[in-house]
Structure 1
Amino acid sequence: MASDRRRLTPEERREQLLDLGVRLLAERSLEEISIDVLAAEAGVSRGLLYHYFGDKSAFREAVVRRAAADLVEQTAPPSVGDPVERLRHSVTAYVDFVDANWAGYRSLLRGAASDPALKAVYDEAFGQLGERVFSADTGLIPDTPAARLVVRGWQAMTEQLVLAWKSGESEVSRGQLLDLLVDALPALAVTLPAE
């Protein structure tokens, strides 16, 4: 009887291991996801993981890079529709992502504060998320140097408010949080100087 299982290509195996690393990151901190843990969860040898990722730092960076790519992908706004509703879609997806990946998201922020490679991944994702405000042609805010500064500030505020909400530091409901975040960007946009 022939087996339905086929041997994975090296790239498919690497992708499978990264997917597992990201799933583990949703429930555990980055520090808790070691080569040993991943090898045990995947049912593979440590040597195979070292073959694919080189060392623990490279493995963690690859997992964080994949998680960041997932965040960027999952928060993509619809390509058409009312600008505020498109923004609400993205902000809602961001809150959902942080909520579902709480341990990993917090450890990503801690790691980015101390590890230059993780900071580079974080900065790249942060930049992609902010660039959407301008590249998605939302019509919410003009593309000017002042507007770019305001968007960066709004992003930082959004991240801090979501972290405080998720940590239980606020009694604001999820709906109230979303309204606050979505309403803040257009409100900031009206304060921009005419260019």
Structure 2
Amino acid sequence: MDIVKRIRLSPAERRDQLLELGIKMLSLRGLEQISIEDIAKMAGISRGLLFHYFPSKRDFHLAIVQRSSDDILGALTPNEELTPPEMLRDVMERYVTYVTDNRDSYVSLLRGPGSGDPELRVILEDNRKQLVDRILIFGRFADIDITPRIELAVRGWIAFVEEVTISWLTEPKIAREELIDMLVGALPVTVPDAAPVVSL
């Protein structure tokens, strides 16, 4: 990775720069292999200055995971001007685009050695909870009565989406559009009450 020419940045800008460099490095290696020294060198700052923004290497790693989680949630903000079926497909299309563009970092977070870390898992679980809440928004737009059973089933569907997508990234035996069709079509199968969400 290229070394960034040192320039004066505000504290917020510097912190963002370090996180972005960390996310880029995550696309090349596992979270546990991200080096503080390498990041500081690429940013054109001292190792000590990096610790001004992140008290420890672990704090930096967790901040990278949190930023990655925020990025994917930002990419999947529902377009509420669409109908529920259109909204769902739009989100799945953007999801597949995001994980394709960030393939290695995405797989590393969900399947890498660090994925068993309790604090990291808290961030990933919060990410899934927010995704569940977003999917349930589609149901509310379709006037579905959201029950605990539906919430649990939607969570199961999200696990299906993650597993199928990772398998597809590893070995894409079907076209992108076929994958999206599968992900969208699996929702009413997993959550029969959600049929109005995908029925035009």
Q: TM-score, normalised by structure 1?
A: 0.87
> What residue in structure 2 maps to residue 153 of structure 1?
156
Aligned-partner residue type, residue 149 of structure 2? A
Q: Which runs of 5+ in 1 are unaligned?
A: none
One-letter amino acid matched to 1:54: P
Task: State the 1:44 CA deviation.
Answer: 1.1
* RMSD of aligned Cα (Å): 2.1
User: In the TM superposition, what are the counterparts of 1:172-183 in structure 2 within 5 Å?
Assistant: 172-183=174-185
- Report the identity percentage: 40
Alpha-carbon shift at residue 16 of structure 1 (Å):
1.9
Q: Deviations over 1:64-109 (max 9, x none)?
A: 1001000001011211212111111111111112111122112211
Note the residue ranges of structure 2 that are not aligned, 5 or more in a row. 1-5, 195-200
Alignment match, 1:188: 190
Q: Give the 3-state SS of the residue equivalent to 1:19 in structure 2.
A: helix
Of the structure 1 ranges 55-64 and 182-191, higher mean CA displacement relative to structure 2 is found in 182-191
**Which residue identity lines up with residue 68 of structure 2 in the other structure?**
A
Which residue matches 2:198?
Answer: none
**Superposition pairs of residues 45-194 of structure 1, within 5 angstroms:** 45-109=46-110, 110-111=112-113, 113-136=115-138, 137-139=140-142, 141-168=144-171, 171-190=173-192
Distance 1:52 1:24, change over 3 A: same
Q: What's the secondary structure of 1:171's corresponding residue?
A: coil
Range 60-69 or range 99-108, more displaced: 99-108
Q: Which residue of 1 aligns with 2:3?
A: none
How many aligned positions are there? 187
Give the letter aligned to residue 104 of structure 1: S
| 172-181 vs 128-137, which moves further | 128-137
- In structure 2, the residue matched to 1:8 is 9
Identify which of structures 1 and 2 has the higher relative contact order when contacts are C-alpha pairs closer than 8 Å and 6+ apart: 2
Q: AA paired with 1:146?
A: R
Q: Which amino acid aligns with 1:119?
A: R
